Structure 1
Amino acid sequence: MNIYEKMILEIINISDDKNTVYEYLMDFFDSFNEEN
Structure 2
Amino acid sequence: KINHPDFVVTRDHLINEKYILVQKGKKTYFLIRVKQ
TM-score > 0.5 by shorter chain: no
Which is richer in strand?
A: 2
Which is richer in helix?
A: 1
Q: Into which bin does the TM-score normalised by the smaller protein fall?
A: under 0.3
Relative to the length of structure 2, the TM-score reads 0.26
